[in-house]
Amino acid sequence: MPSPLLIKEELNLTSKSFRIPKKVIFLNSLHPAQDIRLFYKEAYSLAKKGFFVKIFGPYKRHNFSYNNIEIFGIGISRSRLVTLIRLFRYGLRSHADIIQSNELDSWLVGIMISILCRIPVIFDAHEFYPQRNIQNRSWLVKKWFPIIIRFVMRCFSVFTDQVITVSSRLAMEYSFLKCPVITIYNYAVQQPLTSRSREDLIRDYPNYPILIHTGLINQDKGINNILSGLKVLKKTYPKVLCLIIGKNGDPPAMQQKIQVFIDSEELRENVEFIKWSTYDQIPRFLKCANIGLIMFDVTNYNNKIGFPQKFFEYLMAGLLVIVPRGSELEKIVEVHQNGIAISPKSPEEFAWAVENLVDKLQKFPGLRERIKDESKIKFNWKQESEKYVNLYMKMIYHD
């Protein structure tokens, strides 16, 4: 169910820019129905301006509607091909005015429907597909996979009206496409930082830091780096606490190794794993923390050039951040002086960074408020929302 913090006002159907209601369909072959960017940002932004948004994806066969947004489950299948066939069938029957595809294969489905129905199609590219998941592959895959995917995407772009990316660096990487490419930054939605009921988490602040990691949990996203860093940091801050919120995407055997490491290093009191519930719960945990963690592996090219949602959520909550050295995030941290870039695989650097940031918080009591205020101006989804909706307005109403 949608977050009451985000979808809490009546949709403005009498906007000056509103004319004849238009139907937009999102085609998802993989993304969750309530993906933060797709549902809480893009779909909601369109719905607020009077568009009807219908999200098709591999979910249980039932509909869920809230004002102008509808989630339509096409059924869960183990076969990606079956999912794509269903997306095509339901999308074709939807009588949409415009299509947005959100994965490489659903892009093809969107193009097919676009050609048959003579309607515009948009591809929202969240990552750089030619370099996706090839870092541990054979030299043959590393050589030919990017070439093949570039060729496929270039062909797809001939039949596409617009490609959206999440960063200027990603837009630059997609300069080989034959259609316009625009950047809609993955900035955070401003949410109230409500108090958390478990006040026991706020312990001796700022003498004992409370760290937080949100989102997917696995090796690629740096779970081992975080735990190794805590092992060293615990020597300085015995009561340090790290909140890890999200779903673990590692195989069960790897998850077991993580638990063994936590037990062997006596970190059980320093780590709290919290299952992801709903998006509106995240601000409650952010309010408790003072340092946000992004410790992913920069040998993964998409990690290196990406702008993850949680980075901007941390800043919007006034947290200082620790980011990987060599990533695009390092540039923001350097310019705005709101964190430190380190080598993610160095536990010693991790401990040093936390100590440095805690010292900074002690010396500058108003630092968190400064970070929050700056983020509301520079990293707020509100400004990107206007760009996103205007794109649809121009495409449909030819403004």
Q: DSSP states of 132-180 as a string?
A: TT-TTS-HHHHHHHHHHHHHHHHHHHHT-SEEEESSHHHHHHTTTSSS-
pLDDT of residue 248: 75
The residues spanned by each domain of the chain are 23-187+380-397, 199-378
Q: DSSP states of 13-43 as a string?
A: TT-TT--S--EEEEE-SSS-TT-IIIIIIII
Report residues of the chain scoring pLDDT below 70.
1-21, 192-207, 277, 398-399
- Coil, strand, or helix at residue 212? strand
Q: Which CATH code, of 3.40.50.150, 2.40.128.640, 2.30.30.180, 3.40.50.2000, is assigned to 23-187+380-397?
A: 3.40.50.2000
pLDDT of residue 396: 82
Hey, which residues does 272 pair with through a beta bridge? 243
pLDDT of residue 193: 58
Structure tokens at 396: 């449909």
Structure tokens at 116: 């048959």
Q: DSSP states of 302-315 as a string?
A: HHHH---HHHHHHH
Enter the pTM of the model: 0.86
Buried b (16+ CB within 10 A) or exposed e, 119-155: bbbbbbbbbbbbbeebeeeeeeeeeebbeebeeebee
Structure tokens at 341: 């870039």
As a whole number of angstroms, the distance between CA 165 and CA 132 comes to 15
pLDDT of residue 4: 39
User: Are 44 and 279 contacting, i.e. CB atoms less than 8 angstroms apart?
Assistant: no
Report which DSSP code applies to 190: P
pLDDT of residue 18: 44
pLDDT of residue 3: 47
Q: 132-183: per-residue pLDDT in tens?
A: 877 778 888 889 999 999 999 999 999 999 999 999 999 999 999 999 999 9
pLDDT of residue 219: 75
- Coil, strand, or helix at residue 278? coil
- The answer to whether 23-187+380-397 and 199-378 have equal CATH topology is yes
Name the fold adopted by 199-378: Rossmann fold (3.40.50)
Four-residue CA torsion sign, 249, 292, 311, 322: negative
